């Protein structure tokens, strides 16, 4: 009997905590999302270009140095998730947001996070090498492109908040 009730209780607790998390996420304001971006490391350090343009203009080794190694990877990991929540916020509060763009943000966040986790795992078990730099470069490239698209999305929909977003990123 207990073997039947235990999985049911565990599932109920999990679904309840998931539902609370979704409600909390949906109740966040734009300012709360901006405050969650980690500004101690900036995507502008990766490129001589502004966040208005996509693309990197450096080698993988240069990117590893500019991102300050694992520190930049951790910031990218967190900020990518926050940008995804910003895209969700825009979808909830603006009917004209392109659904394909939101799907692209989701794919980008997943790619960034996978590349960051691989690079951090390799970094934890060895020296900095070409493989780590390549994964970091790939994550940084997607991150800069995603930041540029988010900036453009905000410029098109809510130009007044772009300076705060760019300053936080």
**End-to-end Cα distance, the chain:** 53
Q: Is 41 part of any domain?
A: yes
Chain-centroid distance, C-alpha 35: 14
Residue 52, pLDDT > 50, answer no
Q: For the chain, give the mean pLDDT.
A: 77
Q: Is 148 part of any domain?
A: yes
Domain count, the chain: 1
Q: Is 50 part of any domain?
A: yes
In whole angstroms, how far apart are CA 58 and each of 13, 49, 65, 73?
48, 11, 10, 16
Q: Is 132 part of any domain?
A: yes
pTM beyond 0.75: the answer is no
Phi, psi of 150 (to 5 degrees): -65, -40
Q: How far apart are CA 143 and CA 109, in angstroms?
A: 8
Q: H helices within the chain, ranges in order?
A: 2-26, 30-36, 60-66, 70-93, 99-124, 130-157, 162-168
Instruction: Determine the 3-state secondary structure of 95 from DSSP.
Output: coil
Average pLDDT over residues 126-147: 82
Average pLDDT over residues 130-147: 84
Q: Is 12 part of any domain?
A: no
Asked if 62 and 152 count as a contact pair (C-beta separation under 8 A), the reply is no
Range of the domain at 117: 30-168
Q: Is 2 part of any domain?
A: no
Q: Is 25 part of any domain?
A: no
- What is the pLDDT, as a whole number, of residue 67? 81
Q: Is 95 part of any domain?
A: yes
Residue 32, pLDDT > 80, answer yes
Q: How far apart are CA 77 and CA 85, in angstroms?
A: 13
């Amino acid at each position: 009997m207990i073997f039947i009730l235990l999985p049911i209780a565990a599932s109920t607790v999990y679904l309840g905590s998931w539902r609370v998390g979704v409600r909390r996420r949906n109740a966040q304001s734009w300012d709360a999302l901006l405050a969650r971006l980690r500004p101690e490391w900036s995507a502008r350090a990766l490129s001589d270009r502004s966040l208005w343009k996509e693309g990197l203009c450096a080698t993988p080794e240069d990117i590893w140095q500019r991102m300050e190694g694992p520190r930049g990877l951790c910031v990218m990991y967190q900020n990518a998730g926050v940008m995804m929540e910003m895209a969700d916020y825009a979808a909830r509060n603006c009917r004209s947001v392109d659904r394909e763009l939101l799907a692209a943000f989701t794919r980008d966040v997943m790619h960034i996070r996978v590349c960051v986790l691989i690079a951090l795992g390799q970094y934890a078990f060895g020296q900095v090498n070409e493989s780590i730099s390549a994964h970091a470069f790939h994550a940084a490239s997607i991150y800069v492109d995603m930041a540029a698209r988010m900036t453009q999305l905000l410029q098109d929909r809510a130009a007044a908040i772009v300076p705060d977003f760019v300053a936080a990123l």
